[in-house]
């Protein structure tokens, strides 16, 4: 975490699953100057503060929809990690303007506040649902990604740089399928939307590390994608709730059979590294920086959960769940 040494960091949506893990990691490493949790739910901040406190940590109540509040919160900040989002697919479908206000207008406010206050680096959390979006949530996150990448142009001669990280399902996070399955197991049957369905999987700790790595290596204008394993949802059900029968209920509106993190259309601007990919903005691609440090993928390359080279087995998936205390 050498880049963050002596830096002041602000995380939006800091009371969520990722935010808590990120805060705990930074406080544990004890190299930062200051850490600000920016979120809009005072109860969640109170509950988090009861468990996580430090002289370096401050809780700042506010909403990414509120530009002036962001200007106040980001004064004196060096790095922003933007994790705030409205991410539940059904809620976004039924409340589209609320999703747009948080995920799109909120991202615009982050970009403008970062430039106005001279923030050095901004990393925004994206999602696999932003690639070829099939629902409003994915569409708003694609728009958010575009705004973040365009921020590098808007910054002009200023030093502010923006990048995104895009990854799949986070094991054990709020709203993930594992607590859902564990809850449904009590009723004696696990609902499965489609037996062919696959997903990317990573732990919260791996997600935090990937963000920290991305802060280190970013030039500005990248969407970083980790190489993470796939696993069928039916296999998840079998490992998490062995012996519990499943019932196919049909794919839901806005849901994909397989998740995509890099589309064929992005292949012309994607470089591959040992443990990740980087999708480059046109300006960064033309700079030639990445041609010296990475390998360009073949035209038509696609990185999706069904054509992944790396897959979990029952044993490796169960080990991850137990090692990270997601399952007892």
> Residue with structure tokens 């575009």?
146
> Residue with structure tokens 């959390």?
125
Contacts of 260 (CB under 8 A, 6+ apart): 128, 131, 132, 302, 303, 304, 305
Check: CB of residue 247 under 8 Å from CB of residue 36. no
**Cβ count near 286 (within 10 Å):** 10
Instruction: Please list the helix, strand and coil fractions of the chain in percent, rounded to the nearest 5, in that order.
Output: 40, 20, 35
Indicate if the alpha-carbon torsion angle 201, 207, 211, 212 is positive or negative.
negative
Catalytic residue among 20, 129, 141, 184: 129
Say whether 232 is catalytic. Answer: no
Check: CB of residue 199 under 8 Å from CB of residue 9. no
* Adjacent-strand bridge partners of 225: 277
Residue 312 φ/ψ, nearest 5 degrees: -75, 145
Check: CB of residue 314 under 8 Å from CB of residue 234. no
Give the active site residues: 129
């Amino acid at each position: 975490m050498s880049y963050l040494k002596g830096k002041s960091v602000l995380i939006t949506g800091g009371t969520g699953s990722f935010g808590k893990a990120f805060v705990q990691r930074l406080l544990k490493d004890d190299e930062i100057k200051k850490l600000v949790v920016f979120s809009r739910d005072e109860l969640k901040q109170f509950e988090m503060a009861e468990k996580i406190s430090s002289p370096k940590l401050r809780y700042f109540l506010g909403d990414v929809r509120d530009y002036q509040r962001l200007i106040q919160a980001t004064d004196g900040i060096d790095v922003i990690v933007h994790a705030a989002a409205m991410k539940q697919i059904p809620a976004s479908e039924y409340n589209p303007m609320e999703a747009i206000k948080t995920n799109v207008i909120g991202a615009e406010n982050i970009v403008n506040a970062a430039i106005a206050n001279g923030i050095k680096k901004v990393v925004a959390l994206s999602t696999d649902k932003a690639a070829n979006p099939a629902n409003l949530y994915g569409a708003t996150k694609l728009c958010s990604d575009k705004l973040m990448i365009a921020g590098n142009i808007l910054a002009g001669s200023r030093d502010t740089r923006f990048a995104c990280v895009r990854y799949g399902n986070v094991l054990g996070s709020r709203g993930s399928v594992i607590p859902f399955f564990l809850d449904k197991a009590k009723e004696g049957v696990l609902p499965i939307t489609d037996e062919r369905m696959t997903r990317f999987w990573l732990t919260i700790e791996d997600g935090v590390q990937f963000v920290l790595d991305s802060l280190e290596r970013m030039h500005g204008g990248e969407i970083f994608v980790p190489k993470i394993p796939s696993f069928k949802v039916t296999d998840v059900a079998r490992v998490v709730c062995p012996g519990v029968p499943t019932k196919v209920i049909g794919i839901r509106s806005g849901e994909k059979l397989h998740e995509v993190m890099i589309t064929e259309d992005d292949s012309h601007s994607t470089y591959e590294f040992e443990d990740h990919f980087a999708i480059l903005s046109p300006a960064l691609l033309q700079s030639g920086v990445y041609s010296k440090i990475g390998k360009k993928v073949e035209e038509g390359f696609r990185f999706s959960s069904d054509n992944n080279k790396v897959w979990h087995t029952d044993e490796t998936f169960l080990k991850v769940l137990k090692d990270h205390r997601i399952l007892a």
